[in-house]
Amino acid sequence: MSVKRTKKSSPPPSSRSKSSDTAATSSNRISKGTISAIVVILALSYDNFRLRYRASNAESANRNLSSNEDEIKLRYKTWEEAPASYEEFDHDNDPSVCRLPIVTVEEWEKNRMWESETPVIVKNVTDGWKALENWSKEELLRRYPDVVVGMGSSKELGQTGPDQAGSALTRTTIYDYVVNWMHSSNKYVFDRNLRLPDGGFLEDCHPYPMPTRMYEEDPDALFESGMPENLMWKDHLALTIGHDTQGLTFHRHNAAWNTVVFGAKRWILYDAERIANITRLKTMTRDIRNPIQLDTANWIRKLYNKDDRKHEIRNYGHDCVQRAGEMMYVPRGWAHMVLNIGDTVAVVSERGLDGVN
Ligand SMILES: O=C(O)CCC(=O)C(=O)O
């Protein structure tokens, strides 16, 4: 799929040859010193011209995002303008339904809540993040068009688990995904391979939430502590970008945090101990009479109210809506599925990358 970008053309070569022709014909009448001076001046002006040419080229690339053609391709100019099924999937986190502590950043850090086995929502995590401005749809496309990301269908990514997705992921760029795929396919960007430091893009998420900040501030201390690498909150972050109703189907992995920058996510979490009974896990996550895994919207629509599933989640799980600015912490081994409400952009960090079988 080609990416529509402004072509970078070179300055017209004729301007250079014409100038040197002029200098050559004058050479009979003027001294060698004067000729050298003219050559230097011409070279400087050419450089100047080249720089200005590049700058105006960059400007026109930026302007191009709002040109008619791209507006048609973009369909929705901002994340917020895109369809969002709040009416069908949102709820108000009633404590009997969500059943999670919703805490401040201070409480999260003071109590080192990432060491616990309880899921939790942390408020106002994105306070101070440049991403709030730099990742608006227009700015993301203008600043980071060429960041390479992996995309695949939410269902496949859920089935393989995002770390083992391998061939289920196609490499593309942020620009290509947002302009050409996001609203015309079921492709979801869920890329766990972004690395710290990345020279700009991920710095927009400063200050990183703990415990990822620990690694960023002093990786040597972590290595020297003797902690095995697969237990560290390390240098890989994930980026997720997807339209309304996308989201990973039930899966499990190591402890992870997920912070929404734009949009919202509905989460269904199911207790790690409860799913040690594998038959129960299967019954919960799919229709046993027709065990094709449903996408997350259809799990909520068609399965949630059947066969005791709601009772299980109300007693051994959580059903919560995470809003922009909030972080969801999922402890190791908890089965969970997610549904985006509206265009949603989030970053994720996971402890180690060793998955959970
Ligand atoms: O946002 C999603 O679709 C899935 C997120 C998830 O499973 C996670 O962060 O662990």
- Reading the block at residue 74, the tokens are 């973009």
The series of mean pLDDT values per 10 residues for the chain, 357 residues long, is 32 33 42 57 44 33 46 84 97 97 97 94 97 96 90 78 64 93 90 67 90 85 81 82 94 92 98 88 86 89 94 97 98 95 95 62
Distance 280 CA to ligand 1 centre (A): 22
- Per-residue model confidence (pLDDT) at position 154: 82
- Per-residue model confidence (pLDDT) at position 188: 92
Distance 247 CA to ligand 1 centre (A): 7
- Per-residue model confidence (pLDDT) at position 158: 72
- Per-residue model confidence (pLDDT) at position 155: 77
- Per-residue model confidence (pLDDT) at position 142: 93
Give nearest CA residue, ligand 1 atom 10.
256
Nearest to 265 by CA among 238, 242, 294, 236: 242
| Cβ atoms of 144 and 137 closer than 8 Å | no
Which ligand 1 atom is nearest residue 248's CA?
3
Q: Which amino acid is at 113?
A: M
How far apart are the C-alpha atoms of 148 and 146, rounded to whole Å?
6
Distance 263 CA to ligand 1 centre (A): 14
Distances in whole angstroms, Cα of residue 121 to Cα of each of 9, 70, 137, 209, 238: 50, 37, 25, 12, 18
- Per-residue model confidence (pLDDT) at position 66: 46
- Per-residue model confidence (pLDDT) at position 335: 94
- Coil/strand/helix, residue 152: strand
- Per-residue model confidence (pLDDT) at position 307: 87
Nearest to 311 by CA among 10, 7, 123, 97: 97
- Per-residue model confidence (pLDDT) at position 103: 98
Kindly give, in sequence order, each residue whose CB lies less than 8 Å from that of residue 10, ignoring residues fewer than 6 positions away: none
Q: Class for domain 86-351, per CATH?
A: mainly beta
Which ligand 1 atom is nearest residue 256's CA?
10
**Ligand 1 cavity residues, CB under 6 Å:** 240, 247-248, 256, 258, 265, 330, 336, 338, 348
Tell me the CA end-to-end span of the chain in Å, nearest whole number. 35
Which ligand 1 atom is nearest residue 258's CA?
9
- Domain chopping of the chain, boundaries: 14-64, 86-351
Q: Which amino acid is at 130?
A: K
- Coil/strand/helix, residue 306: coil
Distance 240 CA to ligand 1 centre (A): 8
The reported pTM is 0.79
- Per-residue model confidence (pLDDT) at position 72: 54
Distance 249 CA to ligand 1 centre (A): 9
| Cβ atoms of 1 and 176 closer than 8 Å | yes
How far apart are the C-alpha atoms of 307 and 312, rounded to whole Å?
10
Give nearest CA residue, ligand 1 atom 9.
258
Helices (H), the chain: 14-26, 32-64, 68-74, 86-89, 95-98, 105-110, 131-134, 137-143, 154-160, 174-176, 212-217, 219-224, 278-285, 296-298, 309-316
| Cβ atoms of 345 and 238 closer than 8 Å | no
Kindly give, in sequence order, each residue whose CB lies less than 8 Å from that of residue 50, ignoring residues fewer than 6 positions away: 11
Pocket test for ligand 1, best of 153, 169, 240, 252 (most atoms within 8 A of CB): 240
Give nearest CA residue, ligand 1 atom 3.
247
| Cβ atoms of 302 and 296 closer than 8 Å | no
